[in-house]
């Protein structure tokens, strides 16, 4: 771990997709004030969520990603030297030294010296799913694997990825985690960037069918309304004012089952009908179980040592 210049970190851009009638990217600059990072427009943390303590199991498995271009995202450790995140979070990192991974639930900075105080590792190699297309309105195959130049600190540990097929309707509680925006719509927040978590309910059945009806770019997902086990996307209901938003991209979604806690999804985008409903309709995750083969193949190719599952 080492300190890095704020030249890599000053221009944060929130990247979880959100716009009327489809999906797009948006963001704002942030600044270091009094030792903490603040987003100039949005604030930080999952909407309606609770702050995550540094010592919690959530904080020990979740990381903060910052691209040299300014994009900020969330990721999860699938190994102490490998991070799983969304492809659109790292698409601008053309070389290995353009992405920093921060190990802290509350990233800290030194605004006088221009350095990051929290523990950091730089990306050594990045592999993006070959099917991902950045130009798509609602991109599919939105996954990437990041190998770190140095492993995570000793107190950090890997998530357990869901490896068996499941029905989305099996779960009525899904824990979502991220460093993103704390308010929806046009509201402005002034809280420092921090890791937060909130429990959401899956969106499936008639409710999902209705939600997809007005958005033709997502019509291909209408067949997933039954909540079967082979869908590539997982849908979460955010209509009660809680959920993921800008900056939560790449973050994990967890469920409990089979005697443990498993990561089932990677945050991809949100969708809404208007700016007033930004991040207040539904959130969409990439289903990690559906991409098990790609994750396993990429992991072996990047470490050359062992299987992940």
CATH code where residue 24 lies? 2.40.10.10
What residue numbers bound the domain in which 98 lies? Answer: 1-309
The pLDDT value given to residue 10: 32
pTM of the full structure: 0.81
- What is the distance in angstroms between the CA of the first residue and the CA of the last residue of the chain? 27
The pLDDT value given to residue 46: 53
Exposed, middle or buried: residue 167 (CB in 10 Å: 0-12, 13-18, 19+)? middle
The pLDDT value given to residue 12: 29
Indicate the number of domains in the chain: 1
Going through the chain in order, the beta strands assigned E by DSSP cover: 13-14, 30-33, 36-39, 50-51, 62-67, 71-79, 82-85, 99-102, 109-110, 115-116, 120-128, 144-148, 174-178, 196-202, 233-237, 252-257, 260-271, 282-287
The pLDDT value given to residue 170: 81
CA 290 to the chain's CA centroid: 17
Per-block mean pLDDT, blocks of 10 residues, the chain (309 long): 37 30 36 52 51 90 86 91 94 80 82 70 94 76 95 94 83 86 49 82 80 66 56 81 76 89 91 55 87 94 78
Nearest to 111 by CA among 38, 32, 171, 40: 32
Rounded to an integer, what distance in angstroms lies between the CA atom of residue 77 and that of residue 57?
12
């Amino acid at each position: 771990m080492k300190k890095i210049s704020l030249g890599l970190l000053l221009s944060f851009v929130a990247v979880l997709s959100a716009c009327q009638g489809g999906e797009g990217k948006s963001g704002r600059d942030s600044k270091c004030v009094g030792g903490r990072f603040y987003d100039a427009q949005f604030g930080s943390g999952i909407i309606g969520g609770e702050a995550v303590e540094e010592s919690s199991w959530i904080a020990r498995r979740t990381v903060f990603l910052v691209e040299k271009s300014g994009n900020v995202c969330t990721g999860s450790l699938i190994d102490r030297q490998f991070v799983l995140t969304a492809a659109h979070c790292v698409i601008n990192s053309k070389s290995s030294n353009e992405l920093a991974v921060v190990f802290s639930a509350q990233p800290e900075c030194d605004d006088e010296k221009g350095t990051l105080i929290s523990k950091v590792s730089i990306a050594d190699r990045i592999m993006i799913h070959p099917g991902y297309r950045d130009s798509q309105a609602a991109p599919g195959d939105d996954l990437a694997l990041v190998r770190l130049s140095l492993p995570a600190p000793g107190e950090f540990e890997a998530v357990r990825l869901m490896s068996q097929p499941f029905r989305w309707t099996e779960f009525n509680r899904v824990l979502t985690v991220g460093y993103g925006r704390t308010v929806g719509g046009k509201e402005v927040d002034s809280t420092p960037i921090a890791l937060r978590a909130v429990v959401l309910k899956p969106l499936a059945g008639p409710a999902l069918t209705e939600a997809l009806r007005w958005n033709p770019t997502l019509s291909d997902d209408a067949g997933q309304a039954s909540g079967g086990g082979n869908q590539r996307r997982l849908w979460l209901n955010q209509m009660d004012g809680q959920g993921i938003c800008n900056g939560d991209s790449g973050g994990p979604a967890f469920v409990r089952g089979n005697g443990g806690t498993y990561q089932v999804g990677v945050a991809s985008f949100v969708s809404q009908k208007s700016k007033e409903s930004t991040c207040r309709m539904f959130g969409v995750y990439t289903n990690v179980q559906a991409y098990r083969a790609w994750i396993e193949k990429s992991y072996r190719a990047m470490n050359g040592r062992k299987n992940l599952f």
